[in-house]
């Protein structure tokens, strides 16, 4: 099938030749190939200024990222068979990693399908389409999922704010099968339930699974504080791992209720106490009372959503880290995390160091983590390696 051409300006192909998948609107030779000539989501062959093909992409003329490379073969057609192939590749990895079908099945650029995220909850698949190219191929995506997985239900959680940048409407809908009330997660034997249509993101933070596993090794017999706990994933797993007592904090009563239910579901309701509070205010109150914890998990939402907010965001991260250290026992463990794309691992490390010095603590980095292997990072795109974490031991001199 013949596809239109999107031609780049002179020398603008270097980043793409090095493996990156995004084309920015200022890189296009609009005299040769005006962006206004493309419909949102249309496919095109991206070429260098002299006509050499780079790959096939989906185009959105109204977006800063105006094209996303889907395949390096310019003959590729982005149809149901394309998505089936991507799903088979992604599934082969996940089935090597996990014993049960509970994971991120497809991670956008990381799985060479920019704009498409799929999470699997047993026989339910939750999809998020974040680009015009994917939104235009809704039917093909559903057909591919049904053909490869035969799920009972497919839900589109297209309520992410990133769709605004693509000029796409937000919404949540069931596009295949019945709508369940809840999604069930099996994480290393712990069973959780979250709302099917109204939970955060696509329902569960699979990206933190391995970080939770690492930290749980340090919780037996210890008192634990889980900040920004959502549905209690770490709280419940820490209790199951042998923690003496767990305080599970979130600012949302809905989240606290989910965490309580999940603790009871796993037989640790007596060990997990939920607290609805602002994290900073709670930490300040604990410090004033002299209340301490042996292990603290600090996993806040993204505090730097735009590059121009980096300095203010780093100050916010440092304040939270300092407050968390103030309530750590003399020989305590802190896991500090950032899911902000604009905060790299070195910056988070410096945040932790400055907070430790301000708190009068000696720090040791025990482990450094990032998102789990069901969220593979694209080797040419630092943007896809978004989650950073450090597990630190903090000692009073």
How many structural domains are present in the chain? 3
At residue 209, φ and ψ (nearest 5 deg) are -55, -55
254 in the same domain as 106: no
Q: What is the mean pLDDT of residues 247-268?
A: 98
* Average pLDDT of span 290-319: 92
Render pLDDT for 275-299 as a digit per residue (tens, 0 to 9): 999 999 999 999 999 999 999 999 9
SS3 332: strand
Q: What is the mean pLDDT of residues 195-215?
A: 93
- Do 332 and 307 fall into the same domain? yes
Structure tokens at 290: 């002299």
Band of the pLDDT at 240, cuts 50, 70, 90?
A: very high
Q: How far is CA 118 from CA 23, 68, 83, 130, 216, in A?
A: 23, 18, 12, 11, 27
17 — phi, psi (to 5°)? -65, -30
pLDDT at 41 over 70: yes
Domain interval for residue 108: 80-183
Average pLDDT over residues 171-187: 97
Residue 58 pLDDT more than 80?
yes
Judged on CB neighbours under 10 Å (0-12, 13-18, 19+), 308 is exposed
pLDDT at 324: 98
Rounded Cα gap, residues 313 and 140, in angstroms: 40
Q: What was the pLDDT predicted at 307?
A: 85
The answer to the question of residue 270 being in a domain is yes
Q: Are strands 272-276 and 245-250 parallel, antiparallel or unpaired?
A: parallel
Q: What percent of the chain has pLDDT over 70?
A: 100
- Asked whether residue 1 carries a pLDDT value surpassing 70, the answer given is no
CA distance 93 to 224: 33
Of 171, 150, 145, 176, the closest CA to residue 160 belongs to 171
Where residue 150 falls (left for φ over 0; alpha for ψ -120 to 50; beta otherwise) is: left
Residue 175: pLDDT over 70: yes
Count the helices and strands in the chain (H runs, E runs).
10, 19
Question: Which tens digit of pLDDT belongs to each residue from 105-129?
Answer: 999 999 999 999 999 999 999 999 9
Same domain, 87 and 64: no
Mean pLDDT across 56-77:
97
339 labelled catalytic: yes
pLDDT at position 309? 87
Distance (Å, whole) CA 166 – CA 187: 34
Q: Average model confidence (pLDDT) for the chain?
A: 96
Tokens 């959780």 belong to which residue? 192
Residue 348 in domain: yes
Residue 198 lies in a domain: no
pLDDT class for 306, splitting at 50, 70, 90? confident
Residue of 216, 256, 286, 339 with catalytic role? 339
Q: Answer with the residue of higher pLDDT: 202 or 265.
A: 265
Per-residue pLDDT for 225 more than 90? yes
Residues 148 and 227 both lie in one domain: no
pLDDT attached to residue 303: 86
CA 182 – CA 262 distance, rounded (Å): 12
| Same domain membership, residue 248 and residue 143 | no
Q: Are residues 119 and 55 in the same domain?
A: no
The CATH number of the domain holding residue 65 is 2.30.130.10
DSSP 163: G
Beta bridge partners of residue 337, listed in sequence order: 389
Question: Taking residues 147-176, what's their average pLDDT?
Answer: 97
What is the pLDDT at residue 274? Answer: 98
Contact yes or no for 84/118 (Cβ under 8 A): no
CATH number (domain holding residue 87): 3.30.750.80
């Amino acid at each position: 099938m013949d596809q239109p051409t999107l031609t780049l300006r002179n020398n603008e192909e270097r980043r793409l030749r090095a493996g990156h998948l995004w084309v920015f609107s200022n890189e296009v030779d609009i005299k040769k190939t005006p962006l206004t000539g493309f419909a949102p989501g249309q496919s095109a062959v991206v070429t260098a200024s002299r006509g050499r093909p780079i790959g096939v992409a989906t185009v959105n003329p109204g977006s800063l990222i105006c094209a996303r490379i889907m395949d390096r073969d310019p003959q590729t057609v982005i149809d149901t068979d394309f998505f089936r192939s991507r799903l088979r590749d992604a599934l082969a990895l996940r089935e090597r990693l996990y014993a049960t079908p509970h994971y991120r099945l497809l991670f956008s650029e990381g799985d060479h399908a920019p704009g498409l995220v799929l999470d699997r909850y047993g026989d339910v698949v939750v999809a998020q389409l974040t680009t015009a190219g994917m939104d235009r191929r809704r039917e093909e995506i559903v057909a591919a999922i049904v053909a490869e997985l035969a799920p009972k239900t497919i839900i589109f959680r297209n309520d992410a704010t990133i769709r605004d940048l693509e000029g796409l409407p937000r919404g949540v809908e069931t596009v295949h099968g019945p709508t369940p009330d809840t999604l069930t997660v099996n994480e290393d034997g712990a069973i959780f339930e979250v709302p099917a249509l109204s939970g955060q993101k696509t329902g569960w933070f699979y990206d933190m699974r391995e970080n939770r596993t690492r930290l749980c090794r340090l919780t037996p017999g210890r008192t634990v504080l889980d900040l920004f706990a959502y549905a209690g994933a770490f709280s419940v797993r820490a209790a199951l791992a042998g923690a003496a007592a767990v305080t599970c904090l979130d600012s949302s009563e809905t989240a606290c209720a989910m965490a309580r239910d999940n603790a009871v579901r796993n037989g640790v309701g007596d060990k997990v106490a939920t607290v609805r509070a602002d994290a900073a205010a709670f930490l300040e109150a604990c410090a004033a009372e002299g209340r301490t914890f042996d292990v603290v998990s600090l996993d806040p939402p993204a505090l730097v959503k735009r590059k121009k907010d980096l300095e203010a965001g780093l100050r916010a991260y440092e304040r939270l880290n300092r407050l968390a250290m103030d309530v750590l026992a003399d020989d305590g463990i802190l896991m500090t995390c950032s899911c902000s794309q604009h905060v790299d691992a070195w910056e988070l490390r410096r945040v932790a160091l400055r907070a430790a010095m301000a708190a009068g603590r000696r720090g040791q980095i025990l482990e450094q983590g990032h998102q789990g292997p069901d969220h593979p990072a694209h080797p040419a795109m630092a943007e896809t390696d978004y989650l950073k974490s450090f597990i630190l031991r903090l000692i009073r001199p």
